[in-house]
């Protein structure tokens, strides 16, 4: 009797168990397209399973377009594999390596990054150019520049200007 009862319970629970197993999946991104404000993804999930039109959800304030071959984690509401939501993406090929616990970074596949390091340091790496578009940029501390400075308009200084020869702005021109 007990053996028959266990068999019946397993039989009743089997479909529920299968659906539960299908609610979360890992996969690899194959294609992306932006359509009506959504990012839709084709991904390879379990062996031989390819799903189209998975919607890529992203955190507010952050946006990315993962490359083909990036990994993903998705959820399928009620185990329905025809409507999936990608809730996380990862690309180990380009992620910054050697970070310490507590550090945060934004990075691209081209090697550019913003790295929030320990000890209140922020490192920005741009292989070609860093552009800041703002009507005003303020620095509240010292600024060290290793390289040339090109200025297209006036330089105003409230303090002393000292050149490499030790000359100051306390002189007059004929």
Domain boundaries, the chain: 2-90, 94-130
pLDDT tens per residue, range 88-144: 999 999 999 999 999 999 999 999 999 999 999 999 999 999 999 999 999 999 999
CA dist 9 and 133 (Å) reads: 65
Tell me the β-bridge partners of 104: 116
Class of domain 2-90: mainly beta
3-state DSSP call for residue 114? strand
Task: Tokens 């999930």: give the residue.
Answer: 45
Is-above-0.85 flag for pTM? no
pLDDT tens per residue, range 7-30: 998 888 888 888 888 899 999 999
Tell me the β-bridge partners of 145: none
pLDDT tens per residue, range 128-153: 999 999 999 999 999 999 999 999 99
Helix (H) or strand (E) holding 56: strand 50-56
């Amino acid at each position: 009797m007990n053996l028959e009862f266990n068999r019946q319970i397993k039989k009743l629970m089997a479909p529920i168990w299968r659906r539960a197993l299908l609610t979360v999946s890992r996969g690899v991104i194959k294609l992306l397209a932006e359509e009506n404000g959504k990012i839709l993804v084709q991904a390879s999930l379990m062996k031989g399973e390819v799903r189209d039109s998975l919607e890529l959800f992203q955190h507010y304030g952050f946006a990315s377009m993962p490359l083909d071959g990036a990994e993903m984690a998705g959820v399928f509401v009620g185990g329905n594999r025809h409507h999936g939501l990608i809730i996380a993406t990862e690309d180990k090929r380009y992620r910054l390596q050697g970070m310490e616990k507590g550090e945060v970074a934004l990075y691209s596949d081209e090697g550019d990054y913003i790295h929030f390091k320990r000890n209140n340091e922020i490192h920005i790496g741009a292989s070609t150019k860093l552009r800041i578009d703002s009507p005003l940029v303020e620095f509240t501390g010292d600024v060290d520049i290793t390289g040339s400075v090109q200025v297209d308009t006036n330089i105003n200084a409230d303090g002393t200007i000292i050149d490499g020869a030790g000359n100051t702005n306390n002189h007059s021109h004929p």
